[in-house]
Chain A
Amino acid sequence: MHIPDGFIDLPTSAAAGLLAVSGTAFALKKAKNELDDRTAPMAGLTAVFIFAVQMLNFPVAAGTSGHLLGGALATVLVGPYAASLALTVVLGIQALLFADGGLSALGLNIFNMSIVGVATSYLVFNIARKFLPKVRGSIPLAAGIAAFISVPVAATGFAIQYAIGGIGTAPASTVFAAMFSTHVLIGIGEAVITVLTVSAIMATRSDLVYGWRASQVKLEVRNT
């Protein structure tokens, strides 16, 4: 879902760039609380893993592929702020080294994937966890639900950007409908990969999983 240069006009891209910079600055400030000597390497590894899995396009409907965005996966593993930064690092590397996603479009992509995708994932994960039994097995499931929903929501981010500053002549409503329906399918793949990865890590090192730790320390007094 990496937007190339040219799809969206420059004023809209610049505005998204500004939002991306503010969001990243905010995440930098807040991520400190999520990162210590044990979880900082975990956040780095999460970025690395997401870079790798984003290369693995899987087929969806007729001649279309999709790949993991990773917002939900990263949020559950390392918390929303470190997750947002991890995705931004991945997007930066992809745009600068691999010409995947345009340079002027980097802000648009950060906005959709590092901010909208992660915020949606965090929200849905927390809601899902409230309704699911308070057991370990609920963590991968809640992560999967968050993953599934976050993808079409992030795709809606593009549809909004297109409505504001799209260069194409197709009506924004049809672009939204096409983006949304295609990304519901891609969301299924996102959910499968997220459930498998979170399950594997829960089985080996659940103490490193932010989403599981967060549900256990709820009644503890935390000094910040």
Chain B
Amino acid sequence: MTTKDKKLTKFYLSFFSAAVLLAGIVSFYASSHPDGLEKVAEQKGFLETAKDSAVSGSPLSDYGVSGIDSERLSVGLAGVIGVVATAVVAFGLFMLIRRKR
């Protein structure tokens, strides 16, 4: 690996670590108020037309890991799992469709 490659890898790793930190730790401090759409739906009286997603029983639904009582741990772990899942799918996709040298 050349020095240039090493530098690039280092940058990629810091970018990835930032995402892990945000999803794994900072996410606990996120606002739990309804988001813009949910608030508008509530105000305009159509919030109750929402149906549960077919995967609402997923062990990760609503960014928590079912069975973990600590809110901090539950949301943090869900975040890290999401980061890893996104990484696997996105890297797979983009490496597959890139222009090959």
Residues of A within 8 A of B (CB): 1-7, 28, 31-33, 35-45, 47-49, 51-53, 55-60, 63-67, 82, 85-86, 89-90, 92-103, 155, 158, 166-170, 174-175, 178-179, 182-183, 185-186, 201, 204-205, 208
Contacts and interface: CB of A to CB of B under 8 A. Distances in A.
B53 A5 contact: yes
A59 B89 CA distance: 30
Nearest to B81: A97
A97 B93 CA distance: 18
25 contacts: A1-B36, A5-B50, A32-B99, A37-B101, A40-B97, A41-B94, A44-B87, A44-B91, A45-B87, A47-B89, A52-B20, A55-B30, A55-B79, A55-B82, A56-B30, A57-B30, A64-B33, A98-B58, A98-B82, A103-B54, A158-B37, A169-B45, A174-B44, A204-B11, A205-B8
Interface string B28-72: 001111111101110111100111111110101111000000000
B60 A97 contact: yes
Contacts of B82: 51-52, 55, 93-94, 97-98
Contact of A93 (B19, B37, B75, B89): B89
B26 A36 contact: no
A94 B1 CA distance: 36
Given A56-B22, A96-B55, 13 more contacts: A3-B37, A5-B51, A7-B49, A43-B94, A48-B83, A52-B22, A55-B30, A60-B36, A63-B33, A67-B30, A92-B89, A98-B61, A178-B44
B72 to A, nearest CB: 13
Interface of B: 8, 11-12, 15-16, 18-20, 22-23, 26-27, 30-37, 39-41, 43-46, 49-56, 58, 60-63, 75, 78-79, 81-83, 85-87, 89-91, 93-95, 97-99, 101
Q: Is the interface of A mostly helix, strand, loop or mixed?
A: helix
A5 B93 CA distance: 27
Nearest to A63: B33
Contacts of B26: 56
B31 A58 contact: yes
A67 B36 CA distance: 9
Contacts of B86: 47-48, 51, 89-90, 93
A129 to B, nearest CB: 23
